[in-house]
Amino acid sequence: MARPVTLFTGQWADLPLEKLAKAAADMGYDGLELACWGDHFDVAQAGHPQYLKEKWELLADHKLNCFAISNHLVGQAVCDPIDARHEAILPAEVWGDGDPEGVRTRSAREMIETGKACRAFFDAKPAAAGEVSFPAVVNGFTGSSIWSALYAFPPTSQEYLDRGFADFAKRWTPILDAFDAVNVNFALEVHPTEIAFDTASAERALAALSNHPRFGFNYDPSHLGYQGVDYVAFIRKFADRIFHVHMKDVWWGHGNGEAGVFGGHTDFGDPRRHWDFRSLGHGDICFEEIIVALNDIGYAGPLSVEWEDIRMDRFYGAEEACRFVRGVDFKPNKAAFDAAFNRKNQ
């Protein structure tokens, strides 16, 4: 059985889930990775069995499945220095009066509730004969109190950075303990602006948490490639921590040299940019190497398309991306290719 191909709904939250579900089914997807914004998945409603039943019925009506939910927006505010930008992405009850520590505290509480909601959602999933089950996963961001110190001037000591990782551990350990209590994994999308944005910082984040069993990664090569990070080696290094996979492409080195890796304060799509997200197959990520590595580590979970391309119509791009993933994914060989040379196997 090939891995399920799903569509992350975060960039489609302007559409009602009912409309998006039909479109995703028509585009050929096996399921949806539900974002906890728009009307796609409401954490507060997950305590109502009827709400969960109706979500699964809506998915089933379109022959769609779900293997993960995602709460990137609230997770971002757990560790971040809070400013006016956060008000636009957070639920009103989480933002509250905007006091930064209050926002961080309410965000942490909401992430704990997200873990409980995830457990309730998957416990309410109707049984399907022969269906492969996967661990319950919440994908998301963590935020970071030290991201602004990315470039070390004024000089940034390791002690300063240690305090940032300690702050992350203090705020996220109770969340992860709550996830553990309900048997749910948290998968950080390693990403600039997060506590972990490359392989080195991902290792440091794990160490800060004393390798908490519920903390792993939502692997997304697009955030690693343009930085110069070996995105295939990341899979092998964190083989037991790849809890979910985003399929997203990016190109780099295509600008005119006026804006570098840090973006030059330009918008996506600006032709001066050194890098931009691209629809799958239109960027510089080598997905065949990724599939080989995922096969090598035994990853059998979904391949979830996070569709982003400022230059392309999203319905055209998402349908093409679904076909691309099916074309590049392949099952690992269960026997050595030269096993048939042995007379016992003939």
| Helix/strand/coil for 33 | strand
As for how many domains the chain has, the answer is 1
pLDDT of res. 135: 87
What pLDDT shows up at residue 134? 77
**pLDDT for the residue 341:** 67
Q: Are 28 and 4 in contact (CB under 8 A)?
A: no
Q: Would you say 329 and 31 are in contact if contact means Cβ atoms under 8 Å apart? A: no
Q: What b/e string do you get for 66-103 counting C-beta neighbours within 10 Å, with b at 16 or more?
A: bbbbbbbbbbbbbbbebeeebeeebbeebbeeeeeeeb
Cβ-Cβ contacts under 8 Å for 260 (sequence gap 6 or more): 274
Q: What is the pLDDT of residue 2?
A: 82
- What does the block give as tokens for 51? 């709400």
pTM of the full structure = 0.95
Residue 331 three-state SS: coil
Count each helix (H run) and each strand (E run) in the chain, helices first: 12, 10
Domain with residue 210: its CATH number is: 3.20.20.150
Spatial separation of the C-alpha atoms in residues 176 and 186, rounded to whole Å? 7
Q: What is the per-residue pLDDT for 129?
A: 45
Collapsing DSSP states into helix, strand and coil, what is residue 177? helix
Answer for the pair 325, 305: CB distance below 8 angstroms, yes or no.
yes
> Range of 226's domain?
5-345
Residue given tokens 């553990």 in the structure block: 180
* Model pLDDT, residue 196: 98
Terminal CA-CA length for the chain: 26
Low-confidence ranges of the chain (pLDDT < 50): 1, 129
**Is residue 307 within 8 Å of 321, Cβ to Cβ?**
yes
Cα 298 to Cα 254: distance, rounded to the nearest angstrom: 34
What integer pLDDT is reported at residue 216 of this predicted model?
98
